[in-house]
Amino acid sequence: MSWSNQNNGGPWKSNPGPWGNGPSRPSGGSPDLEDVLRRGKERLKRWLPGGGIGGPAGLGLLALAAIAVWLLTGFYTVQPNEVGINQIFGRYTGKTDPGLRYNFPGPVGSVTVLPVTNRNSIDIGAVTRDESPRAGGLQLALDKPEESLMLTGDENIADVKFRVVWQIDPSRPEEFAFNLRNPQETVKAVAESAMREVIGKKNLSDILTTDRKVIEPAVQDLIQGVLNGYKAGVLILQVQLLSVDPPDQVIAAYRDVTSAQQDLQRQRNEADAYANSVVPGARGAAAQILQEAEGYKTQAVQEAQGQASRFAQVYAQYKNAPNVTRERIYLETMETVLGGAQKVIIDGKGPGVVPYLPLGSLDAPKAQTGGEK
């Protein structure tokens, strides 16, 4: 069907309707489609030099317009939690911060936008999944014994379930974009290997009791070191032990062992408390005995020194007057010996035994009187 205007009308003039006349355009109505297309074609011919779109100038303008539209597609937006990785012909040219950015569009350039602040977590030894809404949206953990069972340093088996929290390193996102094909699986494999290495150097009893807080930072440092060696561009934020238990077959026996260890620790604490209450008293008594011994020692030494000095003085007087000194010593000795004994005086010069003088009886009332006073 020709769209030219050589038949003095549109296609409706050459193809009348079933009643012999084509559809007529009412006066004052909108123009039909044929008129709109014809007028647009005439305007385009007048605007384009060279007589139409098929001319060289028209093709050049269309090419420039296509290039302009293609260049405008190179604008892209980086969100606050993202970093843009720019490439030109597959070569890394730099990274961009959040905002409206530009890079050559494809196939010349490409942009990879990475969420560098988003935190990702991987559960190893168990898979956590959401339960159906009928169950209240609860989370169920499915055990994966091929990941959780690990050999300890004392040749026992421990069931270790843990979680690794990681994110893309904001300072090296290009390493994450170019050096890792499957980041989730890579981090998981490295984390499982690191945990097996750390668990393999420790005894099961320590793992179950005291070393849990030591294992987490050790595994985190080991994972980070391995990933840095791979230039993975991954930052390990936390390693969290979810559960550390013996295998199900021997868990009852190990619970008894754990209970016994707790009883042992409790008894040790009680013994330490008793020692803390008894030892200070014993030390105080020992210090008292030592002080009394020191006092007795000082007293004995001083008394011995005093007696030696008295003996030296008596000896000096004895050399000056031996008879008088001997008599005085004798009297003092007799006074000391007989001073507290009962005395009976007998006159042996008379013709017979005279009545004795009961000095002891005479002294008793005086002593009793003195006691009453």
Report whether the peptide linkage leading into residue 115 is cis, meaning its omega lies within 30 degrees of zero.
Answer: no
204 has a pLDDT exceeding 70: yes
Among candidate residues 30, 49, 40, the one with its CA nearest the CA of residue 3: 40
Task: Grade residue 358 by pLDDT with cuts at 50, 70 and 90.
Answer: low
Q: In this predicted structure, which of 63-72, 91-100, 119-128 has the lowest mean pLDDT?
A: 63-72
Task: Grade residue 162 by pLDDT with cuts at 50, 70 and 90.
Answer: very high
* Domain end marker among 246, 281, 307: 246
What stretches of the chain show up as alpha helix (H) in DSSP? 11-14, 33-47, 56-72, 145-148, 173-179, 183-199, 204-208, 212-230, 251-320, 322-338, 359-372
pLDDT at 12: 41
pLDDT at 287: 92
216 has a pLDDT exceeding 80: yes
11 has a pLDDT exceeding 60: no
Both tokens of 327, joined, read 């008599």
What is the Cα–Cα distance from 308 to 333, expressed in whole angstroms?
Answer: 17
Amino acid at 177: A
Q: Are residues 146 and 184 in the same domain?
A: yes
Q: Are residues 192 and 95 in the same domain?
A: no
Q: Rounded mean pLDDT of the chain?
A: 78
Q: What is the pLDDT of residues 27-40, one digit of tens each?
A: 444 556 677 667 76
41 has a pLDDT exceeding 80: no
Q: In this predicted structure, which of 67-81, 158-172, 204-218 has the lowest mean pLDDT?
A: 67-81
pLDDT at 248: 77
Q: In this predicted structure, which of 194-203, 215-224, 226-235, 258-267 has the lowest mean pLDDT?
A: 258-267
- When pLDDT is averaged across residues 270-286 and rounded to a whole number, the result is 90
Q: Are residues 55 and 80 in the same domain?
A: no
pLDDT at 200: 92
92 has a pLDDT exceeding 60: yes
Residue 165, SS3? Answer: strand
pLDDT at 120: 93
Both tokens of 354, joined, read 């005279």
- 257 lies in some domain: no
Amino acid at 182: N
pLDDT at 268: 93
Residue 315, SS3? Answer: helix
Q: What is the pLDDT of residues 167-194, one digit of tens each?
A: 999 988 999 988 888 999 999 999 999 9
- 16 lies in some domain: no
pLDDT at 3: 41
pLDDT at 6: 41
Both tokens of 333, joined, read 């000795």
Asked whether 269 and 185 are in contact (CB, 8 A), the reply is: no
Q: Other CB atoms closer than 10 Å to residue 156's CB: what's the count?
A: 17
DSSP-assigned letter for residue 346: -
* All residues at 6 or more sequence positions from 51 whose CB lies less than 8 Å from its CB, including other chains: 45
- When pLDDT is averaged across residues 340-366 and rounded to a whole number, the result is 59
- When pLDDT is averaged across residues 130-141 and rounded to a whole number, the result is 52
Q: Are residues 53 and 126 in the same domain?
A: no
Q: Are residues 90 and 153 in the same domain?
A: no
Q: Are residues 127 and 223 in the same domain?
A: yes
Q: Are residues 161 and 194 in the same domain?
A: yes
Q: Are residues 83 and 161 in the same domain?
A: no
Q: Other CB atoms closer than 10 Å to residue 60's CB: what's the count?
A: 11
Domain interval for residue 82 = 75-115
121 has a pLDDT exceeding 50: yes
pTM for the model stands at 0.52
Task: Grade residue 373 by pLDDT with cuts at 50, 70 and 90.
Answer: very low
Q: Which residues pair with 165 in a beta bridge?
A: 121, 238
DSSP-assigned letter for residue 17: -
Q: Which residues pair with 146 in a beta bridge?
A: none
Among candidate residues 166, 170, 182, 167, the one with its CA nearest the CA of residue 85: 170
Instruction: Give the β-pairing of 139-143 and 344-345.
Output: unpaired
116 has a pLDDT exceeding 60: yes
The dihedrals phi and psi of 34, each to the nearest 5 degrees, come to -60, -45
Report the chain's terminal Cα–Cα distance, integer Å. Answer: 163
SS3 of 45-97: HHHCCCCCCCCHHHHHHHHHHHHHHHHHCCEEEECCCEEEEEEECCEEEEEEC
How many domains are contained in the chain?
4
- 146 lies in some domain: yes
Buried b (16+ CB within 10 A) or exposed e, 17-51: eeeeeeeeeeeeeeeeeeeeeeeeeeeeeeebeee
* All residues at 6 or more sequence positions from 77 whose CB lies less than 8 Å from its CB, including other chains: 99, 100, 101
Both tokens of 253, joined, read 């026996």
Both tokens of 106, joined, read 């494809």
Q: Are residues 166 and 103 in the same domain?
A: no
- 158 lies in some domain: yes
2 has a pLDDT exceeding 70: no
Amino acid at 189: A
What is the Cα–Cα distance from 88 to 38, expressed in whole angstroms?
Answer: 45
- CATH label of the domain that carries residue 220: 3.30.479.30
Both tokens of 268, joined, read 């040790």
